[in-house]
Amino acid sequence: MDRDLFQQGRWSPRKRDTVRDQLEALIMQMYKSNILYGEAVREFKKKFIITVLQENKGNQCRAARELGMHRNTLSRTISELKIDVRQLRDGVRRPPRSARPVSYEKKVVR
C-alpha cells in the first residue's frame, strides 16, 4: 500500500517520516497511560474506519475498496466495533413509506 501511495504521489518519504514520528509519540503516550494493547488496537481500528467512511459519506463499498478489504469484512467489522454508519451519511434520505403523506391524486392517462 505504501508503494502504491508513493507512486501516486500521495505518500512522500518526508510525509511517511512525519506520520511515523507522530505514531511513535502516540504509542509512547498510550503506553505511559497504561492503555492495554487490545484497547489500543480496537480504538485505532475504529478511528481509522470512521475516518475512511466519513471521507466516503458512509458508502461502505467505496470505503472497503479504499481500505483494501472486502465489503462484507468491513460490514462485519463495523458491527463488531458498534459504529453507527447512519451518522456518517450526508444529506437527507427519503422517509420510509409509512411516514410519507398519502397522495390521492390520480395521474391522467393520455
| 30/52 same-domain check | no
pLDDT by 10s per residue, the chain, length 110: 455 555 455 667 788 888 899 999 999 999 999 999 999 999 999 999 999 999 999 999 999 999 999 999 999 999 999 999 988 886 656 667 777 777 666 666 66
Task: Please choose, from the candidates 16, 17, 43, the residue with its C-alpha nearest in 3D space to the C-alpha of residue 29.
Answer: 43
Q: Can you give the residue range of the structural domain that contains 23?
A: 1-35
The reply to whether 99 falls in a domain is no
**pTM for this prediction:** 0.65
CATH of the domain at 44: 1.10.10
CA 48 to chain centre: 6
Query: Quick check: is 103 in a domain?
Result: no
Grid cell, residue 78, equals: 463495523
Cell of residue 107, nine digits: 395521474
Instruction: Report d(CA 51, CA 55) in Å as an integer.
Output: 6
